[in-house]
A and B are shown apart, each in its own frame.
Chain A
Amino acid sequence: MAKIIVVTSGKGGVGKTTTSAAIGTGLALSGFKTVVIDFDVGLRNLDLIMGCERRVVYDFVNVIKQEATLNQALIKDKRTDNLFILPASQTRDKDALTQEGVGIVLDELAETFDYIICDSPAGIEKGAQMALYFADVAIVTTNPEVSSVRDSDRILGILQSKSRRAEKADEPVQEHLLLTRYNPARVDAGEMLSVSDVEDILAIPLLGVIPESEAVLKASNSGTPVILDNASDAGQAYDDAVQRLLGKELEHRFLHAPKKGFFQRFLGGK
């Protein structure tokens, strides 16, 4: 049975697409046949982050409107086996997605895939609701910042009332907190909400903490999901998150600022 995972947040720009690309790649690397779907109709970006922007021919909306088959629209990743991308349409708007149409496409994907990752657009309106409606699992991507935490709580409310599982009174959507762009030095200085602050407020299980990292921009520059940069802190943190998603218990890393050496402190280096 395929598992449908939505990467959602309410607030924009918190790292949903970065996370969808990383976690999709991580699941594929672990041997699961995985597809990542860009639900951000009109603002396609997953293709760039995953480095397949020049190979887009047909998109999600074409498939829904039966202008193309799924096989024509799916892009097979060149680096990672078992990994596919279904790009968003760049020319339509979010009304092009219908619940019925999305449901049919997801059903067809579920026949052959183990994991279906839905990269949600920002907001709490139709586009975001469409991305989360069919989800079994939600990765609530949150930055340690007031507006992001508040919006995440609103998205949790929507998952609990407007998802298919909520409407059918099935077992609720499994919620996970992914705290991204975490800056331990600022947390230590009392300038940023800590992991436990955000956990206290949102009260959902923690999947992972992704540090604010230079590796993310570098990865997006080259169109390589950051999880493939396994020397980087963010890459390793995403890798841990994937393993936890698969049921492994791992201690959280990168929660503390690296201790400055004597000379660094002496010279005032960062």
Chain B
Amino acid sequence: MSFFDYFRSKAQPTSAELAKERLQIIVAHERGARANPDYLPQMQQEIIAVIKKYIAIDQDQVSVQLDSNDDCSVLEVNVTLPD
């Protein structure tokens, strides 16, 4: 690291730091998905299809998520309705 890099690194992460941050996010996401039941992706698609039948929305305005903790699982459907 050169003298100038030292000052720059205060503002900007190094490329290794950036890599680590991106990895932490994607790996956590993929580990979460691993624990999901096999039917989840299909069910997500079908729920989205039903909503789309009635409301004109984009795919990315709907999120269907399954969160589990020790004693219960919560299926959360979030729809951002157009104005």
**Do these two chains really belong together in a complex?**
yes
Q: Which of A153, A154, A192 contacts B16 (CB 8 A)?
A: A192
Q: Are B16 and A150 in contact (CB under 8 A)?
A: no
Q: Are B20 and A193 in contact (CB under 8 A)?
A: yes
On chain A, the residues within 8 Å of B14 by CB distance are: 190-191
With an 8 A cutoff between CB atoms, is B10 at the interface?
no
On chain B, the residues within 8 Å of A154 by CB distance are: 30
The distance in angstroms between the C-alpha atoms of A157 and B9, with both chains bound, is 35
Residue of A nearest to B28 (CB): A201
Q: Are A146 and B1 in contact (CB under 8 A)?
A: no
Give the number of residues in B that approach A within 8 Å (Cβ atoms): 17
Residue of B nearest to A188 (CB): B1
With an 8 A cutoff between CB atoms, is A111 at the interface?
no
Q: Are B19 and A157 in contact (CB under 8 A)?
A: no
Task: Give the interface SS of chain A, mostly helix, strand, loop or mixed.
Answer: helix
With an 8 A cutoff between CB atoms, is B17 at the interface?
yes
The distance in angstroms between the C-alpha atoms of A235 and B63, with both chains bound, is 51
Residue of B nearest to A158 (CB): B34
On chain A, the residues within 8 Å of B19 by CB distance are: 145-146, 193, 197
State whether A201 and B16 are in contact (beta carbons under 8 Å apart), knowing that A146-B22, A189-B1 are contacts in the complex: no
Q: Are A150 and B27 in contact (CB under 8 A)?
A: yes
On chain B, the residues within 8 Å of A149 by CB distance are: 23, 27
Q: Which of B15, B16, B26, B30 counts the most chain A CB atoms within 10 A?
A: B16
On chain A, the residues within 8 Å of B31 by CB distance are: 153, 157
On chain B, the residues within 8 Å of A188 by CB distance are: 1
With an 8 A cutoff between CB atoms, is A249 at the interface?
no
B48 to nearest A CB, angstroms?
26
The distance in angstroms between the C-alpha atoms of A145 and B23, with both chains bound, is 10
Q: Are B22 and A201 in contact (CB under 8 A)?
A: no
- A sample of 5 cross-chain residue pairs with beta-carbon separation below 8 angstroms, ordered by A number, consists of A149-B23, A149-B27, A150-B27, A150-B30, A157-B31
Known: A149-B27, A157-B34, A190-B14. 11 other contacts (CB 8 A): A146-B23, A150-B23, A150-B26, A150-B30, A161-B34, A190-B15, A190-B16, A191-B14, A193-B16, A193-B19, A201-B27
Could you list which residues of chain B lie within 8 angstroms of chain A, going by C-beta atoms?
1, 5, 9, 14-17, 19-20, 22-24, 26-27, 30-31, 34
